[in-house]
Chain A
Amino acid sequence: MEKITFASQLMQYLITGLTVGSIYAMVAIGFNIIYNVTEIINFAQGEFVMLGGLIMVFLHVAAGLPLLAAFPLTIILVTLAGMLLDRLAISPIRQPSVLTLIIATIGASIIIKGIAMFIWGKDPFDLPAFSGRNPIHLMGAVIQPQYLWVGGFLIIIVILLTFFFEKTIIGKAMSACAENPDAASLVGINVKHMILLSFSLSAAIGAVAGITITPISLMEYDRGAMLAIKGFGAVVLGGLGSFPGAILGGLILGTIESFGAGLIHSGYKDAFALIVLLAVLFIRPSGLLGSVEVSKFKRF
């Protein structure tokens, strides 16, 4: 009896870890999209998640819009916030160095957080789960239906992004900007538009992460920074710029965190991500799926 409970507990940690990890993976993908086009680490990435959750709560719970209307509307509003971030904080900087731009994103994240506190206050908000809260039992573990939504949306995002980058000319143009902005503008690509697009895409993905995680862990105004750090940990673990790396990194990080919290001490939950981040930087700075050769040329 004792043994079965322990096994089912491990199963529970794994499932919770993969769910949280899916959110980290979404944040990490958002980081990579912007990084690949601009070499900027956008530390406001977590704020998109926070905005996604809180705007969804406002539209769905407070304003009473049905789920199917509130969901796309939230994504659109957060995408607009992403575009504003580019237009107000990134684009106006003259002769930008990558470091200046990164600092600008940190500044922007503080401003977004402040605005959110003004609007929503400091209390956490709940959102009804998409398909109820009747748990599914699997091998002794409890699975909230919302967990499946989180995983499902990660899969949808991955499929859509793969299609976008592999099959569309705009996706290819974005890859071209990432590789060689001068050559890209020589074939007629407007590099500034591509940067704007990268911020929009990242914001939209952040919104999805926020909307899907809020029914599980609630959402409040200051959650963004920690999510950004976790997402960044996932990016570094997977290899900066690598999309498969972001997904793998996110899932591993979520799982480590969940097992660590369950088996060692839940108070150290947030420390595990940072320990992993530091360990990767010490042992293999290029990440799991990053190329060592390429990492030599990276400025960060």
Chain B
Amino acid sequence: MLKIEKLRAYYDTIPALKGVSVEVPEGEIVSIIGANGAGKSTLLKAISGLIKTQQGRIAYKDQDIAGRAANKIVALGISQVPEGRQIFAHLTVQDNINLGAYLYFKRRNRAEIAERMSEVYTLFPILKRRVKQIAGTLSGGEQQMLAIARALMGRPELLLLDEPSMGLAPLIVREIFAVIKKLNESGTTILLVEQNAKTALNVAKHAFVLETGEIVLEGLASDLLDNPKVKEAYLGG
């Protein structure tokens, strides 16, 4: 579904991605693990169009999307849940959810929005109880749920998740990953970027290890879990 070939990206003159190739087959969960600063977020931002890439191809359903504007890429069915959630903190929960369906509002597709909204609230019942609350006053876990819910309102076929476990208690992480699995079972392809390697490898079928802008290992997630190098570097021995 998504095929990234030899992608290079720079921050000013500092290379952040040095020729990264990643493939995400339709219907799968693919994880990319790596330490802080390895280039994981840069990769996701390149896919969703937030940063410009210098070289390489990003093919989504066989069309090259590298260099397109972020707001055009969402319309193709790729939604990103950005690192640090990036919810609209001064707006209400309901406004955040509505804005997630911005493209449908533009197409005046009210029925679609209502259907989507009820699905999202079934997935995250806690958000329904908070609709009128200002988003910035939610707990960290709820904010992460809101960020996912907002991305889902765009009815993505490919969901990009940037560190959904960041700063959350283990119990909440488990809850969020249960939702990620559920989404995948209902047909959404997922590309997950995580520092929390164990959780990320447990949920994925294929996985990649990114180190200083390069893919150093790739394969079945279950194999990587047993790989001594991965064990030592990412799973705490």
* Chain A residues in the interface with B (C-beta under 8 A): 169, 172-173, 175-176, 179-180, 182-191
Contact = CB atoms under 8 A, between A and B. Distances in A.
A186 B91 contact: no
A172 B90 CA distance: 11
Contacts of A190: 69, 71
24 contacts: A169-B98, A169-B105, A172-B99, A173-B99, A175-B88, A179-B88, A182-B50, A182-B70, A183-B88, A184-B99, A185-B69, A185-B70, A185-B71, A185-B74, A186-B70, A186-B79, A186-B80, A186-B151, A187-B74, A187-B99, A187-B100, A187-B153, A188-B71, A189-B99
B103 A188 contact: yes
Max count, chain B CB within 10 A of own CB: residue among A184, A186, A191: A186
Contacts of B150: 187
A176 B74 contact: no
Contact of A176 (B50, B82, B99): B99
B71 A176 contact: no
Contacts of A188: 71, 74-75, 102-103, 106, 154
B222 interface: no
Contacts of B106: 188
Contacts, number: 70
Nearest to B45: A182
Contacts of B89: 179
Contacts of B87: 183
Contacts of B69: 185, 190
Given A186-B48, A187-B74, A169 B90 contact: no
Interface residues on B, range: 20 to 34
B36 interface: no
Main secondary structure of the interface of A (DSSP, over half): helix
B118 interface: no
A175 B75 contact: no
Contact of A180 (B48, B74, B88): B88
Interface in B47-73: 48-50, 69-71
A189 B151 CA distance: 13
A179 B95 CA distance: 13
Contacts of A187: 74, 99-100, 102-103, 150-151, 153-154
B122 interface: no
Interface of B: 48-50, 69-71, 74-75, 79-80, 82, 86-91, 95, 98-100, 102-103, 105-106, 150-151, 153-154
Contacts of B50: 182, 185-186
Contacts of A189: 71, 99, 102
A179 B75 CA distance: 22
B112 to A, nearest CB: 14
Given A188-B71, A188-B102, A176 B79 contact: no
Contacts of B90: 175, 179
Contacts of A191: 71
Contacts of B48: 186
A186 B69 CA distance: 10
A227 to B, nearest CB: 30
B88 A182 contact: no
Nearest to A169: B105
Contacts of B100: 187
A51 to B, nearest CB: 31
Name the residue in B95, B102, B150, B153 with the highest tally of chain A Cβ atoms < 10 Å from its Cβ.
Answer: B102
Contacts of A169: 98-99, 102, 105
Which 10 pairs show the lowest CB-CB distances between chains A and B?
A185-B70, A183-B86, A188-B103, A188-B74, A169-B105, A185-B71, A190-B71, A188-B71, A188-B102, A187-B102
A175 B91 contact: yes
A189 B100 CA distance: 10
A179 B71 CA distance: 16
A176 B88 CA distance: 6
B102 A173 contact: yes
Nearest to B94: A172
A183 B82 contact: yes
Which of A169, A184, A191 neighbours the largest number of chain B CB atoms within 10 Å of its CB?
Answer: A169
Given A169-B99, A173-B102, A186-B80, A180 B86 contact: yes
